[in-house]
Amino acid sequence: MAETAITESSLKDALTERLKATYVEVADMSGGCGQSFTSLIVSPEFAGKNSLKRHRLVNSALKDEIAQIHAWSAKCQTPDEHEKERATTGGNDGPPLDGTDEGKVDGVDQ
């Protein structure tokens, strides 16, 4: 079976569908080659789960996609957590960009 290209859009669609996510932001950190992604995922499915269980849920939902990429990170929040954070940060949404140079992995041609 041929592998399909992994994109920000395909990951967003998969997360929205598979985790009943109410908000998803995915950023390609690899300069467009589809090998490194970071994300912010807001889903009621995370309620009552600690960080490890939330990440396991995401990794399970994206098992096939994650197998095709080099790096993946996710920030997982419930809708209530997301609203509280937005209220304290002035509404700045987006995936975490830690360890990047303006949202791109250092050393990657863009």
pLDDT of the residue at 21: 98
| In the chain, where the domains are located | 8-89
pLDDT of the residue at 32: 73
β-sheet with 23-28: strand ranges across: 23-28, 36-42, 71-77
pLDDT of the residue at 106: 54
pLDDT tens for residues 23-46? 999 999 987 778 899 999 999 999
CATH for 8-89, among 3.30.300.90, 3.40.50.1360, 3.40.640.10, 3.50.50.60? Answer: 3.30.300.90
Q: Which residue do the tokens 């395909």 mark?
A: 10
- Model pTM greater than 0.85? no
Per DSSP, the three-state class of 25 is strand
Per DSSP bridges, beta strands 36-42 and 23-28 are antiparallel
Q: How far is CA 66 from CA 2, 25, 71, 81, 91, in A?
A: 15, 16, 8, 25, 29
Alpha-carbon distance 49 to 2, whole Å? 35
Average pLDDT for 12-26:
97
Indicate the pLDDT class of residue 86, thresholds 50, 70 and 90.
confident
Lowest mean per-residue pLDDT among 2-11, 15-24, 95-104: 95-104
